[in-house]
């Protein structure tokens, strides 16, 4: 066997990926695929990967779905990682054609039922959680429940998700991606009604900030009074992370003994504020856990689940689109083209078409 070793090609591909989460997930999927190729197809070099190997791999994934070892959406995701890798190899002129992109290979994939399972916040659920967050703030002001600062923070977080169309990874910290540290106050333009985020395109974009979301952020900002505009909008509560940030950012300005003395003699939050320490933002996982707790407090049960952060974006788009505002949905969700918006809400278009067909048939 000659040519590029599969392991070397995979390493080269992974080194080209900027997004940490995607790189980590792709690494895992591609290593599993390479092991399967070596074991089942006796293939270890890139040049030897043929269409039939990809077709057999797709069939292997289908069998795992039938055995309840994988969800159909996961099987499609695994295959997509392989297809993307081989597409990279084609573009890099390591192979002449992407064998995973051939239709007869992809035909063996299981039916993808992911769309039917995707959660979105219904209008009723959105109103319920927003009303609960308002009442929670009122209770905090009366000295009942969580602190006033926490109540304002959580309300701002839920309103931002529910009304702006932002993705969780755009406003919360993604631990595997250095370019996604979470939104900072310097990114928020309350008067201008926008928030600057690092978008899915891996370019900075401006997401719309409706009045109710902007008002919640403005009141939270007034109560919290962040020590610096570089401070995260939704900071972590993880004490070790705060201590680590203080030590790292005061290093060079003070001796190690002096830093430890400062930490021993003062509350960590007071140190953060006095020395304008920029602590990490809450992580995407932390935000999901927070939404679980809030839904439990509010008594909201969505088919045994909680209101997931990304479901807020889908729910906003669903309502705008279903009410006839396709272009507004495109703008709010920052889709590159209206075709993407139409595709995302094709179920609504099909329903509307059915109603129109019924009207025509009833008249005939």
Per-residue pLDDT of 229-261, as tens digits, reads 999 999 999 999 999 999 999 998 999 999 999
pLDDT for 3-51, tens place per residue? 799 999 999 999 998 766 778 889 999 999 999 999 999 999 999 999 9
Alpha-carbon distance 313 to 232, whole Å? 21
Can you tell me the mean pLDDT for 75-79? 92
Confidence band for 1, pLDDT divided at 50, 70 and 90: very low
- Position 74 pLDDT exceeds 70: yes
What are the contacts of 144-148 at 24+ separation with CB within 8 A? Answer: 148/223
Q: Which of these, 273, 250, 252, lies nearest to 261 by C-alpha position?
A: 250
Q: Contact at 8 Å (CB) between 294 and 308?
A: no
> Considering the chain, what is the average pLDDT of its residues?
91
Is-same-fold flag (6-117; 120-233+280-364)? no
Sole residue written with tokens 């995973």: 100
**Residues across the chain:** 364
Q: Listing from the earlier edge strand, what are the strands of the sheet with 204-208? A: 188-189, 194-198, 204-208
Alpha-carbon distance 335 to 69, whole Å? 34
Positive or negative, the CA dihedral 133, 136, 141, 147 is negative
Does the structural domain 6-117 have CATH classification 1.10.1790?
no
Where do the structural domains in the chain lie, given as residue ranges? 6-117, 120-233+280-364, 239-279
* 254 bridge partner residues: 251
Question: Which H or E run includes 168?
Answer: helix 168-171
**For residues 267-277, b (16+ Cβ closer than 10 Å) or e, as one string?**
ebeebbeebeb
| pLDDT score for 193 | 95
pLDDT for 152-183, tens place per residue? 999 999 999 999 999 999 999 998 788 899 99
Backbone phi, then psi, for 99, in 5-degree steps?
A: -70, -20
Alpha-carbon distance 219 to 152, whole Å? 7
pLDDT for 95-137, tens place per residue? 999 999 999 999 999 887 655 446 789 999 999 999 999 999 9
* 232 bridge partner residues: 184
Question: Which H or E run includes 197?
Answer: strand 194-198
* Alpha carbon distance, N-terminus to C-terminus of the chain: 69
Distance set, CA 13 to CA 139, 200, 344 (Å): 53, 19, 29
pTM over 0.95: no
| pLDDT score for 309 | 93
User: What fold characterizes domain 120-233+280-364?
Assistant: hpI Integrase; Chain A (1.10.443)
């Amino acid at each position: 066997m000659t040519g590029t070793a599969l392991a070397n090609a995979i390493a080269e591909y992974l080194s080209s990926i900027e997004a940490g989460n995607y790189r980590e997930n792709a690494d895992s999927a591609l290593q599993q695929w390479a092991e399967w190729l070596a074991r089942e197809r006796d293939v270890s070099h890139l040049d030897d990967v043929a269409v039939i190997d990809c077709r057999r791999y797709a069939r292997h994934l289908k069998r795992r779905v039938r055995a309840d070892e994988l969800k159909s959406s996961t099987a499609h995701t695994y295959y997509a990682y392989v297809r993307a890798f081989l597409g990279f190899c084609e573009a890099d002129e390591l192979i002449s054609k992407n064998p995973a992109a051939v239709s007869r290979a992809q035909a063996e994939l299981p039916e993808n039922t992911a769309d039917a399972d995707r959660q979105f916040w219904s209008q009723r659920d959105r109103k319920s959680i927003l009303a609960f967050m308002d009442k929670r703030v009122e209770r905090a002001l009366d000295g009942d429940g969580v602190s006033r600062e926490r109540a304002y923070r959580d309300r701002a977080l839920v309103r931002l998700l529910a009304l702006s169309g932002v993705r969780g990874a755009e406003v919360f910290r993604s631990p595997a991606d250095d370019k996604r540290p979470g939104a900072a106050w310097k990114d928020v333009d309350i008067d201008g009604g926008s928030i600057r985020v690092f978008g899915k395109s891996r370019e900075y974009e401006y997401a719309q900030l409706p009045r109710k979301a902007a008002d919640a952020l403005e009141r939270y900002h007034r109560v919290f009074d962040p020590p610096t505009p570089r401070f995260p909008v939704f900071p972590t509560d993880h004490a070790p992370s705060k201590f680590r940030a203080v030590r790292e950012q005061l290093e060079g300005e003070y001796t190690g003994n002096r830093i430890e003395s400062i930490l021993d003699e003062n509350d960590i939050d007071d140190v953060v504020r006095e020395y304008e320490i920029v602590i990490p933002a809450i992580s995407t996982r932390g935000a999901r856990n927070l939404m679980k707790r809030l839904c439990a407090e509010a008594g909201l049960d969505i088919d045994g689940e909680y209101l997931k952060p990304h479901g807020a974006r889908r729910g906003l788009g669903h309502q705008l689109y279903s009410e006839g505002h396709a272009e507004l949905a495109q703008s709010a969700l920052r889709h590159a083209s209206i075709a993407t918006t139409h595709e995302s809400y094709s179920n609504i278009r099909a329903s509307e078409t059915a109603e129109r067909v019924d009207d025509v048939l009833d008249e005939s």
